[in-house]
Amino acid sequence: MKKYINNAAKNTNQKVNEVFLFRQMARALNTQTSHSVFVKEAHAKMYVKYQLDPKRFAMLPGSKPIIKKVELGDLLILTYDKWTGLLKMSIMQAKYKPIPYKNFLDVRMNLYQWELLKYKPILVWSNYGIPFNILNSQNLFKSIASYGIFYRDNYNNEIDMLYVIPELLNYKNPNIYKSINGIIENKKRLPKTRDYSFKFNCLQNLNGQLYRTCHRVFGPGEVISTCSINSFKDEILNGRIGVPLSSKKGDNIQMWILGILKKLRNDFNDDHTIQQMIDEILKEYSSGDENYIRNLKTPKHLPPLLFTGVNLPHNEIEIND
pLDDT one-digit tens code per residue, 210-257 = 444 588 888 778 999 998 899 999 999 999 999 999 999 999 999 999
Predicted pLDDT of residue 174: 86
If one counts the domains in the chain, the total is 1
Which range has the worst mean pLDDT, 30-39, 183-192, 235-244?
183-192
319 in any annotated domain: no
144 in any annotated domain: yes
Average pLDDT (6-29) is: 92
Helices (H) and strands (E) in the chain, counts: 8, 15
317 in any annotated domain: no
316 in any annotated domain: no
Residue 72 neighbours by CB under 8 Å, 6+ apart: 46, 47, 48, 91, 116, 126, 130, 134
pLDDT exceeds 70 at position 27: yes
84 in any annotated domain: yes
Q: How confident is the model at residue 205 (pLDDT cuts 50, 70, 90)?
A: very low
**Domain that residue 154 falls in:** 2-311
150 in any annotated domain: yes
Predicted pLDDT of residue 128: 87
273 in any annotated domain: yes
**Strands across the sheet with 123-126, in order?**
67-73, 46-51, 123-126
Predicted pLDDT of residue 42: 65
Q: What is the pLDDT of residues 83-111, one digit of tens each?
A: 999 999 999 999 988 877 766 678 889 99
318 in any annotated domain: no
Predicted pLDDT of residue 202: 65
d(CA 9, CA 295): 42
pLDDT exceeds 50 at position 21: yes
